[in-house]
């Protein structure tokens, strides 16, 4: 029987943190992800990299959310690291790739945000463009580092796609903060959204799954966005 309060696993990184007198690694996830899951009636569970097999965690969840973060290790898609690439976290990369593959295999509702969309693609054999300013000649997708203010733009979503159904429109205004993007698509994935004007991939999904969506933008930074609530609703009925 479906749970009344669907449990949403939010994958996170182990990062240096400070609180009170302490300065040490901690399991870190942005509070906006947690708040939006809770506001939609879900139970937010933070899931850091672990030594157990992914099914041991997925068995406890009704839905999975992969968040933003540092660039993936480029060797995962057979490329040398670009000079502008951020330092990767191989443990997190491997753990999240295993989680998303496990979630899609069992048809668990899944949403990948920014880095999470890129993990989704690379886990299925896809590749990434490592530095958009080099290929586009602009910094339009991350005009200001460390903030979403001033980083908004429009995306065009394919009519009838999961992305468009969830967003409730085919032209959607989004907050953005990234310098990498999906290049070649992974197996079983389709491209259903592009940035208006420059055509950068903004949404991918797996048609064989009930709800498996990756978006390059940050719905957690927009309190009016329906995307995370849609994940919770899908998990409630899964």
218 included as an active-site residue = yes
82 included as an active-site residue = no
Cα atoms found within 13 Å of the Cα of residue 37, Cβ hemisphere only: 28
Among residues 172, 177, 178, 218, which one is catalytic? Answer: 218
Among residues 96, 202, 205, 220, which one is catalytic? Answer: 220
172 included as an active-site residue = no
Among residues 96, 114, 177, 202, which one is catalytic? Answer: 114
* Catalytic residue IDs: 114, 218, 220
């Amino acid at each position: 029987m479906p749970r009344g309060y669907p449990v949403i696993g939010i994958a996170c990184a182990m990062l240096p943190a400070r609180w009170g007198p302490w300065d040490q690694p901690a399991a870190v996830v942005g509070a906006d992800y947690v708040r939006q899951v809770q506001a939609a009636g879900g139970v937010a569970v933070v899931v850091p990299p672990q030594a157990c097999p992914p099914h041991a965690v997925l068995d406890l969840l009704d839905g999975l959310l992969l968040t933003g973060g540092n660039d993936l290790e480029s060797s995962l898609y057979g490329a040398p690291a670009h000079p502008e690439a951020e330092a990767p976290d191989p443990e997190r990369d491997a753990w999240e790739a295993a989680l998303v593959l496990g979630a899609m295999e069992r048809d668990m509702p899944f949403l990948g945000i920014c880095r999470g969309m890129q993990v989704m693609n690379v886990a299925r054999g896809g590749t990434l463009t490592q530095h958009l300013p080099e290929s586009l000649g602009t910094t339009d997708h991350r005009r200001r580092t460390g903030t979403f203010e001033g980083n908004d733009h429009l995306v065009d979503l394919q009519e009838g796609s999961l992305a468009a159904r969830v967003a409730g429109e085919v032209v959607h205004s989004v907050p953005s903060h990234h310098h990498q993007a999906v290049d070649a698509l992974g197996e079983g994935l389709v491209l259903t959204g592009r940035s208006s004007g420059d055509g950068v991939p903004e949404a991918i999904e797996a048609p064989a799954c009930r709800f498996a969506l990756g978006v390059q933008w940050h719905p957690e930074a927009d309190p009016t966005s329906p995307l995370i609530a849609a994940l919770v609703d899908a998990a409630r009925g899964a």
